[in-house]
Structure 1
Amino acid sequence: MSADLDDTDRAILRALVADAGLGAGEIGRRLGLSQPAAWRRIRRLEEAGVIRGPRLEVDRAALGFGVTVFLGIKLAAKGRVSLEDFERAATAIPEVQVVQHVLGLFDYRLRVVARDLADFERVLRRRIMTLPGVGNVEANVVLTEERRPGPLG
């Protein structure tokens, strides 16, 4: 689909990345399109899988989760524990928001949220370290985070 994107499609994507709540009418006004034309383009981008739907962004700190930690996890014995067993167990932990199977020093990267460092330590000791096959674990506490939409063509 990326070869089929024109400048207007990219402008629509940039507008939606900045504010996913924009309607076709507002996008049309910003880009000099009619509301139906903007709606048809948005719909085509959705049908092609370029737009997967609006997302709700939650302020974790406002909900009391002030600590985010990225964990690198190396499985101790790959042959004994299936990757599916590890993934199933890891995704069942409410504080684990993302489980990524990665290539490199670690087998998995997890994004974990906690109320504070003491809460993170409890999650690490009672839940993460008891996951099937866990060997080495490296923690990186997030100090600040800036989000960028990434390349849009």
Structure 2
Amino acid sequence: MPDATDRRILRQLLADPDASNTILAERAGVTPASLWRRLEKMRETGVITAIQSRIDWRALGWEVEVSLRFTLDKTNPRAFDEFIAAAREVPEVIEIQTFLGSVDLRLSVIARDMAHWQQIYRDRILGLPHVTDSDALMLVSTIKNSVELAL
């Protein structure tokens, strides 16, 4: 379990993941050697799994994002596995989530524009297996997108 110093380090890492270890150590109030040891320990224990870059898809010309919610045929024991395998093959699917409740899965799909979205939907999404119901929500704006929690 991370202690107060580890949580300070994690807060600084989340606030500025591109900062050098020297700067992170200074901001967290530890020496660079201590920072390195603590980061390594948090990696080894699975607290830190990766340092990732976030891509702004809109800046790259992908203007449309749609959240698709699916209910699957639960009478088929392979429905989830086969649906997920097929969804992974769609290059424009950037996220797959499973749920408990009335919705079984959610896909986040990106497209360059509405014509591209229609093509993806007709050619790739409609053919996904074992779907009994679906719902589409088009993203208008993102108000908050954070993995940060109060540490």
| TM-score, normalised with respect to structure 1 | 0.89
| Two-structure CA RMSD over aligned residues (Å) | 1.6
Residue of 45, 69, 72 corresponding to 1:72: 69
The one-letter code matched in structure 2 to 1:12 is I
Tell me which residue corresponds to 1:13. 10
User: Which runs of 5 or more residues in structure 2 are unaligned?
Assistant: none
How big is each residue's C-alpha offset from its partner over 1:51-91, in whole Å with a ceiling of 9 and x where there is no partner?
01110111101111111111101124641753211110001
Change (3 A) 1:135 1:125: farther
Equivalenced residue count is 150
Task: Report 1:1-153 matches (<5 A).
Answer: 4-76=1-73, 78-79=75-76, 81-145=78-142, 146-153=144-151
How big is each residue's C-alpha offset from its partner over 1:41-60, in whole Å with a ceiling of 9 and x where there is no partner?
11111111010111011110
Paired residues of 1:24 and 1:36 also in contact (CA < 8 A): no
* Higher alpha-carbon deviation: 75-84 or 118-127: 75-84
CA distance in structure 2 between the aligned counterparts of 1:99 and 1:66, rounded to whole angstroms? 19
Change (3 A) 1:87 1:78: farther
The one-letter code matched in structure 2 to 1:112 is V
| TM-score, normalised with respect to structure 2 | 0.90
SS in structure 2 of the partner of residue 62 of structure 1: helix
SS in structure 1 of the partner of residue 68 of structure 2: strand
The one-letter code matched in structure 2 to 1:110 is L
SS in structure 2 of the partner of residue 49 of structure 1: coil
Deviation, structure 1 residue 117: 2.1
Paired residues of 1:101 and 1:107 also in contact (CA < 8 A): yes
User: Which runs of 5 or more residues in structure 1 are unaligned?
Assistant: none
Which portions of structure 1, spanning 4 or more consecutive aligned residues, are displaced by more than 3 angstroms?
A: none
SS in structure 1 of the partner of residue 60 of structure 2: coil
Change (3 A) 1:137 1:38: same
Change (3 A) 1:53 1:80: closer
Fraction of identical pairs, as percent:
34
CA distance in structure 1 between the aligned counterparts of 2:100 and 2:77, rounded to whole angstroms? 19
